[in-house]
């Protein structure tokens, strides 16, 4: 004899319907730049040196963003773009996209130090309508002949030294050399030797004085007086431009924007203001 409850328990139990799977949207990719300042202000785009990131420019971004539209980018092989190989075309594409996305006027002053300075020249040549002027810091040397050896040496160190040892050396250098306010953002941004090595090798054999001579845009060549590789040729590079000027920053070495951050920011602001008045 089956009790009523036994009857129900003997019935086949339908399989439970699967719960709908919630598909979460992919997070948008991080933009390889930081933009600060009024949208309608004159634009300045900052291009970092080998192995560093956009955080190299925080001292200038903080000082200038009240008056200018400031954009600091990560180049391929560095920062959020570390997975992308560094190429000249890829780097110029990042700069172009940053200007077209973040600067409504579509024109900007390019400020580059070391690798970033050479990239500023290439970008000004490739996209003259986007570039209102360029500041070239620590890049007044061409990597051919005897002057190629510092570039080759840097690339070899970045390629062959253990990554952990390079990170420790870079972290120690920035913490010993600079105040915490400058050093810690750079350390947080990380160090990217593979991208830096590719950037240094890209410069080998490239001629830049001929490119500068063809540009109509104003050029400001900036060097630290204590920079032994690039400083001595600053005046010659400025004289090679149609509209060039050289500024030497006292008591500054190769990383002049970090050695004398306020002086460097004021130099950039001066060019931006002159370019604005001449527009």
Q: Which residue(s) pair with 135 in the sheet?
A: 111, 220
Q: In this predicted structure, which of 9-18, 23-32, 158-167, 242-251 has the lowest mean pLDDT?
A: 9-18
Q: What is the Cα–Cα distance from 69 to 35, expressed in whole angstroms? A: 7
Q: What is the Cα–Cα distance from 253 to 260, expressed in whole angstroms? A: 9
**Predicted pLDDT of residue 15:** 54
Is the predicted pLDDT of residue 105 greater than 60, yes or no?
Answer: yes
Closest CA to 101 of 54, 189, 32: 32
**CB-based contact 130:99 (threshold 8 Å):** yes
User: What would the pLDDT profile of 43-84 be if each residue is shown by its tens digit?
Assistant: 999 999 999 999 999 999 999 999 999 999 999 999 999 999
Q: What is the Cα–Cα distance from 51 to 55, expressed in whole angstroms? A: 11
Q: What is the Cα–Cα distance from 74 to 81, expressed in whole angstroms? A: 7
3-class DSSP state of 37: coil
Which helix H or strand E contains 45, and what residues bound it?
A: strand 43-47
C-alpha distances out from residue 181 to 62, 64, 95, 169, Å: 11, 16, 26, 19
Is the predicted pLDDT of residue 223 greater than 70, yes or no?
Answer: yes
User: What would the pLDDT profile of 116-127 be if each residue is shown by its tens digit?
Assistant: 999 999 999 999
Please compute, for residue 109, the number of CA atoms within 13 A of its CA located in the half-sphere on the CB side.
26
Percent of the chain surpassing pLDDT 90: 86
State CA 7 to chain mean position distance.
75
**CB-based contact 264:271 (threshold 8 Å):** no
pTM for this model (two decimals): 0.89
Percent of the chain surpassing pLDDT 70: 89
Closest CA to 56 of 222, 190, 151: 190
Q: Is residue 17 very low, low, confident or very high in pLDDT (cuts 50, 70, 90)? A: low
**Predicted pLDDT of residue 275:** 86
Is the predicted pLDDT of residue 7 greater than 50, yes or no?
Answer: no
**Predicted pLDDT of residue 276:** 79
Q: What is the Cα–Cα distance from 203 to 121, expressed in whole angstroms? A: 12
Record the tokens describing residue 144, joined without a space.
């051919």
Record the tokens describing residue 70, joined without a space.
């400031």
CATH code: domain 31-141+208-278 is: 3.40.50.1820
**Predicted pLDDT of residue 1:** 44
Q: Is residue 224 very low, low, confident or very high in pLDDT (cuts 50, 70, 90)? A: very high
**Predicted pLDDT of residue 3:** 45
Per-domain boundaries in the chain: 31-141+208-278
Closest CA to 239 of 270, 212, 274, 207: 212
**Predicted pLDDT of residue 62:** 96
Q: Is residue 4 very low, low, confident or very high in pLDDT (cuts 50, 70, 90)? A: very low
Q: Is residue 277 very low, low, confident or very high in pLDDT (cuts 50, 70, 90)? A: confident
Please compute, for residue 15, the number of CA atoms within 13 A of its CA located in the half-sphere on the CB side.
3
**Predicted pLDDT of residue 8:** 38
Q: In degrees, to the nearest 5, what angle opens at C-alpha 234 toward C-alphas 231 and 240?
A: 160
Q: What is the Cα–Cα distance from 229 to 118, expressed in whole angstroms? A: 15
Is the predicted pLDDT of residue 14 greater than 70, yes or no?
Answer: no
Write down the mean pLDDT value for the chain: 91
User: What would the pLDDT profile of 121-169 be if each residue is shown by its tens digit?
Assistant: 999 999 999 999 999 999 999 999 999 999 999 999 999 999 999 999 9
Q: What is the Cα–Cα distance from 224 to 255, expressed in whole angstroms? A: 8
More confident residue, 136 or 5: 136
State CA 202 to chain mean position distance.
16
Is the predicted pLDDT of residue 268 greater than 50, yes or no?
Answer: yes
Is the predicted pLDDT of residue 6 greater than 50, yes or no?
Answer: no
């Amino acid at each position: 004899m089956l009790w009523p409850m036994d009857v129900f328990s003997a019935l086949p139990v339908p399989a439970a319907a699967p719960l709908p799977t919630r598909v979460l949207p992919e997070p948008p990719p991080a933009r390889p730049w930081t933009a600060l300042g009024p949208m309608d202000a004159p634009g300045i785009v900052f291009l970092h040196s080998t192995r560093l990131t956009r955080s190299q420019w925080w001292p200038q971004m903080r000082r200038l963003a009240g008056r200018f539209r400031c954009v600091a980018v990560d180049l391929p092989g560095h920062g959020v773009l570390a997975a992308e190989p560094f190429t000249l075309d890829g780097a110029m594409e990042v700069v172009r996209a940053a200007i077209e996305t973040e600067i409504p006027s579509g024109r900007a002053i390019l400020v580059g130090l070391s690798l970033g300075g050479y990239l500023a020249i290439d970008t000004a040549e490739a996209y003259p309508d986007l570039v209102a002027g360029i500041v070239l810091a620590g890049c007044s040397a061409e990597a051919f002949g005897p002057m190629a050896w510092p570039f080759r040496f840097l690339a070899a160190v970045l390629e062959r030294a253990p990554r952990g040892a390079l990170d420790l050396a870079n972290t120690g250098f920035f913490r010993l050399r600079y105040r915490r306010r400058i050093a810690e953002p750079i350390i947080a941004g990380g160090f990217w030797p593979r991208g830096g090595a590719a950037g240094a090798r890209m410069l080998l054999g490239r001629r830049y004085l001929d490119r500068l001579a063809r540009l109509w845009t104003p050029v400001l060549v900036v060097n630290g007086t204590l920079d032994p590789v690039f400083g001595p040729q600053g005046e010659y590079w400025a004289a090679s431009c149609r509209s060039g000027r050289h500024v030497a920053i006292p008591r500054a070495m190769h990383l002049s924007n970090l050695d004398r951050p306020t002086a460097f920011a004021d130099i950039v602001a001066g060019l931006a203001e002159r370019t604005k008045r001449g527009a």
